[in-house]
Structure 1
Amino acid sequence: MKKKQRFEVKDDETIDECLQRMQQLGYQPIKRMEKPVFTEVKGKDPVWKKQQIMFEGILIESQQEKS
């Protein structure tokens, strides 16, 4: 397993469900990132589509080894 991994909140899940998925895989969130997602409309300005939310997590075991 990687020591760090990014997890994206999927369209059909809540933030809590994403955090639970991280925990089940053995990761603890250390950073939250958000970025806007735009769609290009032909001949017009980009249109906001959604806000993409991602978490960066570290392996829980690797944090305990440092302590």
Structure 2
Amino acid sequence: MSAKKKTVWFEVEEGESIEDCLNRLTAAGYRVAGRMEEPVFTEKDGEFVPIRQLIKFKGILEE
């Protein structure tokens, strides 16, 4: 049986709510230890245009 990692980043998937991601994190045996957001861009007519915000939660393994 493989051991779980002590810290894992859980990304909010497209079409998934933040609450759903947090429930998934908890169900996997982790607790929230941080949050990170970064914009996702696409290039349109030579300019970078933001298309969405990428949200990740850092999970720490519950002992």
TM norm structure 2: 0.90
User: What is the RMSD computed on CA atoms of the aligned residues?
Assistant: 0.8
Match of 1:23 among 21, 26, 29: 26
Q: Which has the greater radius of gyration? A: 1
Identity of aligned residues (%): 47
Higher strand share: 2
**Counterpart-to-counterpart distance in 1, 2:56 and 2:50:** 18
Offset of residue 6 of structure 1: 0.3
Determine helix, strand or coil for the equivalent of 1:2: coil
Runs of 4+ in 1 over 3 A off after TM superposition: none
Q: How many residues align?
A: 60
Mark the runs of 5 or more structure 1 residues left unpaired by the alignment: 62-67
Alignment-derived partner of residue 6 in structure 1: 9
Q: Which residue is 1:55 aligned to?
A: 57
Which TM-score applies when normalising by structure 1?
0.85
Q: Higher helix fraction: Structure 1 or Structure 2?
A: 1
Q: Secondary structure of the residue that 1:36 maps to in structure 2?
A: strand
Shift of 1:44: 1.8
Q: Which runs of 5+ in 2 are unaligned?
A: none
